[in-house]
Every structure is written in C-alpha cells, then in structure tokens.
Amino acid sequence: MEGAYVHTAQPAAVKAKYREEVPSNIMFDRRIVRGNTYAAQVVTQSAQREVERLRQEQERAARREANRRRREELQKPSTPPPVEGRAHCEAQTESFLEVLSDKPVESEVETQTDAKLDKNQEPLFVPAKSGVDAQTEIPHGDLFDFDVEVTPILEVLVGKTLRYAMIECLEEEELENMKIQQDEFEQMRDAELLEVQRLDAEAARKFAEKRRRLEQAEERVRQQAELQEKIAARSFAKNYFADLSEIVFDHLEDQGHFVDPVIQQVRDHVIPVLLDDVVADIDVHVTSRNCADALLHAAIDTLHKLQAEADDRAVKDAIFRDQAQQAADAARLAQQQQQLNSADDDQDDHRQKEAV
C-alpha cells in the first residue's frame, strides 16, 4: 500500500491571481474613454508611438525595479552553501505545531432570529363610523348641460390630438434630419480619418526621408573628412620626403662629409674680402647721408628764422597801418566836428541879425 501524501506546511499560491488593487485616479486610466463615447476613437500613428513609448518606459521601470530588488536580495546575508556530501533541507521554524489528521475539524454553531421577526403583522387601523347617513337626488341637467359643456372639452381633446400629431410629425422630420446630418457627419469623419491617416503617412514618410537624408549627409561628411585626411597625409608625406634627400645632403655637407674645394676657397678667401669692401662702402654711404642730413637741418633752421622775421615785420607793419588809420579817422572826425560848430555859429549870427 502506497504511503499517504502529507503536507509539512500550509499550501500557498506561488503568484497572486490578480494584480494588487491600489487606489488610482481615473483621470490617468487609459481604460476611461474621454469625450463622445459614440464617436469613433481616431488613433493616429503619433498616439500609437506615444503609447508604445509609455509601455517601453513602464517595462524599463519594471526591469529596473526587479534589478534593484535582486541586488537587495543579493546584498542580504544568506545561508552558506552546504559542505560536501550534505544538502540543505527546509525545516519548520514556526512557533506553533499543527496537528495532521485525515478527518477535518468539525464544530456546531447555533443561531436565533430576533423576537420581533416572529411577530405577526398588525392590521391597519380603521376608525369607527360616526355621524348620520343622508342622501340626495341630482336631476338631469342640474350639474351641467352636456350639449353646452362638451364643446370646449372636444376642442381641447381635438387640439391636443392635433398638437401631438404635429409634434410626432415634427419629431419624425427632426429624426430624418438628424439621420441625414449623422450620415453627413460620418462621411466627413471618414474623410477626416482618411486625411489624418494620409497626413500621418506623409509625416512618417517625411521623417524617414529626413533620417535617410541626415544619414547620407553624415556619411558624405565622414567620407569627405576621411578623404581630406588622406589627402593631407599624402601631401605631408610627399612634402616631407621631397626635401628629405636635400636635407640629408645639406646636413652631411654641414658636418663636413662633402667638401667642394672651389666653395671652400671662395668661403675662406673671397667672401671675407668682399665683406670688408661692402662694409667700407656702407660706411661711406652712411657718412654722406649724415652730412646731407646736417645740411638739410641747417637750411631748414635758417628758413624757419627768416620766416619768423618776415612774420614779425608783417605784424609790425599791420600794427603801424592800424595806428595811422586810427589817427586819420580821428583827424577827419575833428574836422567834421569843427565844421559843424562853425555852421552852428553862422546860424546863430544869422538869427541874431534877423532878430535885430
């Protein structure tokens, strides 16, 4: 007989069946439809890309949280590995013991309803009849005249019937207009949806074309930079190796490995004499130039002195002319004053004679 299977611990679910219910705001719930619930939800490519981006961000955040928890678990002290030849086994460390039996535990519980629930329903209270019964008789035509009173009632009934019929006709016409408007709206919505899809496709195509052009431009710039670098390296190498032989030979000549006797004779005998002659000629030219400069300075000083004397004479002549002009003006004014005085005396004598 096979042995019975016995649990050493209470069974538990490995993973929760449902997500943990946490309070949230319905304004940020994507399952809540905003706007008109009867209109078609136009999902553009940009909205799809945004939803995909949010989903990827949530996945990255979940992965980061899982990695963080894994790192925290790794940082916690754990049980060291078992020694060779042994293995770890789970042991019950609870502070209570559980009795295992094939028969489940049973218990009896009693309950009792409230006393007021067993009480019968009370009958309704009917007050006792009081007073004296009396009777009366209403003859025909006493309260109202049917032929006279029925006219306004019929007018009201017919008016109400016609009004309701007119309202129903207007309602049917309004429903027909609403249906026509709904059809036009659906056509416009379909056209706008097609236009939105076309614009999204055009934007995606332009974006792809832009990325392709940018990649081509970057590739062209990279190729140009690589080509310029190769050209510069080739030019540098060419220039460097072009003068290399001359530099080497010049260096060897400077060190005295290649000596030309003619050049040596010219360098030792001709060039020193030539330099001495050139220095002597330069000294003569410098001396001549200094003499010419001294003569020019002396002539310029003499010219400045003569110019200053001429300016002084001109100033003195101008002052003398001004003084002579002022004296002549004073004499002329005195003569005019004298003439005026003699004219006044003559007039006075003439008046005296006339008075006599």
Q: Model confidence over 52-83: pLDDT tens digits?
A: 889 999 999 999 999 998 888 777 666 777 77
Q: Give CA–CA dist 176/156, Å, rounded.
A: 30
Euclidean distance between CA atoms 126 and 128, whole angstroms = 7
pLDDT at 2: 46
Q: Among residues 100, 77, 74, which one has the least CA distance to residue 6?
A: 100
Q: What mean pLDDT is predicted for residues 236-257?
A: 77
Nearest Cα to Cα of residue 286 among 191, 64, 294: 294
The owner of tokens 């619930």 is 37
Domain ranges of the chain: 146-258, 263-340
Asked if the model's pLDDT at residue 26 lies above 60, the reply is yes
- How far apart are the C-alpha atoms of 199 and 197, rounded to whole Å? 5
- Average pLDDT for 104-120: 73
Six-digit token string for 16: 């929760």
Contact call for residues 200 and 45 (beta carbons, < 8 A): yes
40-66 residues labelled b (16+ CB within 10 A) or e (exposed): eeeeeeeeeeeeeeeeeeeeeeeeeee
Return d(Cα 316, Cα 318) in angstroms, integer.
5
pLDDT value for 129: 77
Average pLDDT over residues 131-137: 76
Task: Please give the C-alpha separations between residue 314 and each of 300, 317, 327, in angstroms, as whole numbers.
Answer: 21, 5, 20
Q: Give the integer Cα–Cα distance in Å for 261 and 354.
A: 136
Q: 157-172 pLDDT, tens per residue?
A: 999 999 999 999 999 9
Instruction: Identify which of 77-81, 84-88, 166-170, 287-291 has the greatest average pLDDT.
Output: 166-170
Q: Is the pLDDT of residue 3 over 60?
A: no
Q: Residue 245 — pLDDT band, cuts 50, 70, 90?
A: confident
pLDDT band at 246 (very low <50, low <70, confident <90, very high): confident
What's the pLDDT at 17?
59
CA 162 to chain centre: 67
d(C-alpha 69, C-alpha 56), whole Å? 20
Q: What is the pLDDT of residues 180-199, one digit of tens each?
A: 999 999 999 999 999 999 99
Average pLDDT, the chain: 80
Let me know: does 224 contact 68? Beta carbons within 8 Å. no
Q: Which two tokens stand for residue 272?
A: 């020193």
The predicted structure's pLDDT at residue 1: 42
Q: What angle do CA 105, 109, 112 make, to 5 degrees?
A: 170
Residue 16 has pLDDT above 70, yes or no: no
Q: What is the distance between the alpha carbons of residues 235 and 229, in angstroms, rounded to a whole number?
A: 10
pLDDT of amino acid 49? 83
